[in-house]
Structure 1
Amino acid sequence: MKATIYDVAREAGVSIATVSQVINGKGKISEERRNEIFGIMARLDYRPSVIAAALTGKKTYTLGLLVPDISNPFFAEMARAVEDQAHHAGYSVVICSTHNEDERIERYLMLLQQKSIDGLIIGTGMDNNDLLTPLVSKDIPIVSIARETRSPHTLPVLVNDYAGGRLAARHLLEQGHTRIAVIAESLKVSSSRERIRGVREALHEAGLELPDAFVSAGGHDLLSEGKRQALALLQPAERPTALFCCNDLLAIGALQAAKELILRVPEELSIVGFDNTILASVTDPPLTTIAQPIEEMGKLAVDLLISELGKAAKKRTHERTVIEPELVVRSSTAAPQ
């Protein structure tokens, strides 16, 4: 038999009103007591009716998260950080993998609205920001994470991508590299554009240029794309001596290309990634990369979203939260030989 709120109240030795307050995040109840009641709910497999809550205009304690590809370690780690922080606050998260395709995004947004989500976190590229209009019209708060959108209705939580590109380029310049190429995910994605801009300006300050032929982008399968693009860049006689890859998966693909071309890393080719996912420390050689504080960004995004719940759109904060990246030096970079 399915557990009811009365079963939870009886087990916890409290009134059903107290259980309701715990579910809705109200009342002067200690954190320890709340956790105890949540534990009883989990043990009894009691689930408050989301549909009933939605029909009465109450919060459903459900958030949506759009990511390009959950198999990408960066977005997998981000989703875990978002889900952990949301769970701590009493929320569930519906995770949707979009491949940066507006058709999928539209379909998932319709699904999330049917589930009456309380708020949305966007970590995916999006061409058509009008897709967000139905959520905005319902005063559903929207946070973008690790991506800038052109919509004025999203609250961004970002790493400083431009500074990350500069860090990568300056590290390679300090190693003595002058022929530096860039492999990006997509020029449609703001983070890629900003990272390339950072590289370009760091090179310009050093009296060097980033030729268009040394910038490569495109494709969804990042591992194979990193390899394919690296193979193309490394074929000419005047090949680059260093590659900056706009995420770690592209960099791992570039490592595979170097191995296929029998180029030693870092002796004959230096490679820098971006993200500092768990994969960066287990590659051969371990990957020098630009670290994004993934866990911190996930927590900040959830906290910001929850703080905006219940506010009218015109009363919400519109400040950008920008976090500085860090260079993590491992064994994939060295002076050119």
Structure 2
Amino acid sequence: MKVTIYDVAKKANVSIATVSKVINNTGRISEKTKIKVKDVMEELNYRPNMLASALMGKQTKTIGLLIPDLVNPFFAELARSIEDRGNELDYNIVICNTDYKNSKENKYLSLLKQKSVDGFILASGFENLDKVEELMKQDIPVVIVARDFPMFSVNAVALDDFMGGYLAANHLIELGHENIGVVARDLWSNRERLRGFKHALEETGLELNSNFEFIDEIDHIKAGREIATKYMNSKNKPTAIFACNDLLAAGVIQMAKELGFKIPDDLSIVGFDNTSIASIIEPPLTTIAQPIQNMGKEVMDLMITTIKGEKKEKSRIMLLPSLVRRKTTKKLS
């Protein structure tokens, strides 16, 4: 027999209105009553009909999260931090992997709108500007995470990618490296990292290794391996490589080892993100850290205030990167 809201109210000895307020997190309900009602809901295995709530114009307590690549530990860890914060706030997160494809972005946006999610979190790699504008015109709450859309007035929680690239270059320059290669896909965040990297080089009269070109390969480790081969087999071999994420750096490390180059004696490597892979790879990776846990918390908190209409003006929260020194960089002898 299906359990209803009436059963919950009777068992908890409260009104149906009180149960409804607890479900929708509205009204003034004591913490003791909230806990009592939630315990009864759990005991009776009661699950609110969120679709019915949506048809009545109420919140579904569900957020759509579009992630471009869950194989990348950065996005997996970011999704986890967002989900953890959502759970603390009694919101469900529906995670969709888009593979950097507009077609999949469009499909998931359409599907989740049909499911009446309360808002969307769009992660770095989402380049479909028309869709962002469309959501905003429809007054659907949107928060961008791990990238920025300076051309729009949109809620965003981003990293200062320019500063991240600058820190990476400055570290290698301080170690005496002058011939430095970069591994990057052509994405907004990477373009900003490259811009910061080049700025640091220019300050000391240096230029990027002439073999640089953006890569198209989605498999980051494979791409890192391929670009390392190209760099290290060229006449203009770099003494250091900056990879714009930790997976790319892992690929560079693999191929450098296979080609017989010792790390960091023959080649220094800096990654980006400071994901779990950075500390377990051999040698442990020097990398630029993103505050992933804080990023997830900030984006979820901003989403909730947007859904509740507590903040009308758009917010752009910029987080700062930091350098984590490990074993893949050393002073050039």
**Residue 56 of structure 2 corresponds to which residue in structure 1?**
56
**Residue 216 of structure 2 corresponds to which residue in structure 1?**
218
Amino acid at match of 1:28: R
**Residue 2 of structure 1 corresponds to which residue in structure 2?**
2
Distance 2:255 2:58 in 1: 54
Change (3 A) 1:100 1:316: farther
Residue 66 of structure 1 aligns to a residue whose secondary structure is: strand
**Residue 90 of structure 1 corresponds to which residue in structure 2?**
90
**Residue 232 of structure 1 corresponds to which residue in structure 2?**
230
Distance 1:191 1:252 in 2: 19
Residue 211 of structure 2 aligns to a residue whose secondary structure is: helix
Amino acid at match of 1:77: E
Q: What's the CA shift string for 1:125-145, capped at 9, x where partnerless? A: 234322235532331111010
Amino acid at match of 1:237: K
**Residue 303 of structure 1 corresponds to which residue in structure 2?**
301
Contact 1:139–1:311, Cα closer than 8 Å, also in 2: no
Superposition map of 1:26-65 within 5 A: 26-31=26-31, 33-65=33-65
Change (3 A) 1:14 1:114: same
Superposition map of 1:161-240 within 5 A: 161-184=161-184, 186-187=185-186, 189-240=187-238
Q: What's the CA shift string for 1:63-110, capped at 9, x where partnerless? A: 000011112111111111111111111111111101111111000100
Q: Which stretch shifts more, 26-35 or 163-172?
A: 26-35
> Displacement, 1:262?
1.0
Contact 1:136–1:153, Cα closer than 8 Å, also in 2: no
Q: What's the CA shift string for 1:254-287, capped at 9, x where partnerless? A: 1111111111111111111100001110000000
Distance 1:32 1:161 in 2: 45
Change (3 A) 1:276 1:4: same
Contact 1:66–1:124, Cα closer than 8 Å, also in 2: no
Superposition map of 1:12-161 within 5 A: 12-31=12-31, 33-149=33-149, 152-161=152-161
Distance 1:159 1:35 in 2: 37
TM-score by length of 1: 0.93
> Displacement, 1:306?
0.8
Distance 1:287 1:31 in 2: 46
> Displacement, 1:57?
1.1
Identity %: 47
Amino acid at match of 2:332: P
Structure 1 residue runs without a partner (length 5+)? none
Residue 155 of structure 2 aligns to a residue whose secondary structure is: strand
Amino acid at match of 1:81: S
Q: What's the CA shift string for 1:27-73, capped at 9, x where partnerless? A: 22244643453344334332111111111111111100001111211
Contact 2:154–2:316, Cα closer than 8 Å, also in 1: no
TM-score by length of 2: 0.94
Determine if the alignment matches structure 1 residue 334 to structure 2 residue 330: yes
**Residue 266 of structure 2 corresponds to which residue in structure 1?**
268
Q: Which stretch shifts more, 204-213 or 273-282?
A: 204-213
Amino acid at match of 2:114: Q
Q: What's the CA shift string for 1:153-210, capped at 9, x where partnerless? A: 53110111000001111111111111111101x22x2110010011100011011111
Residue 213 of structure 1 aligns to a residue whose secondary structure is: coil
Distance 1:19 1:283 in 2: 50
| Number of positions where the alignment pairs a residue of Structure 1 with one of Structure 2 | 333
Contact 1:113–1:135, Cα closer than 8 Å, also in 2: no
Amino acid at match of 1:246: C
Contact 1:100–1:124, Cα closer than 8 Å, also in 2: no
Give me the CA root mean square deviation. Answer: 1.9
Distance 1:36 1:211 in 2: 64
Amino acid at match of 1:152: F
Amino acid at match of 2:129: N
Distance 1:81 1:306 in 2: 15
Distance 1:33 1:283 in 2: 49
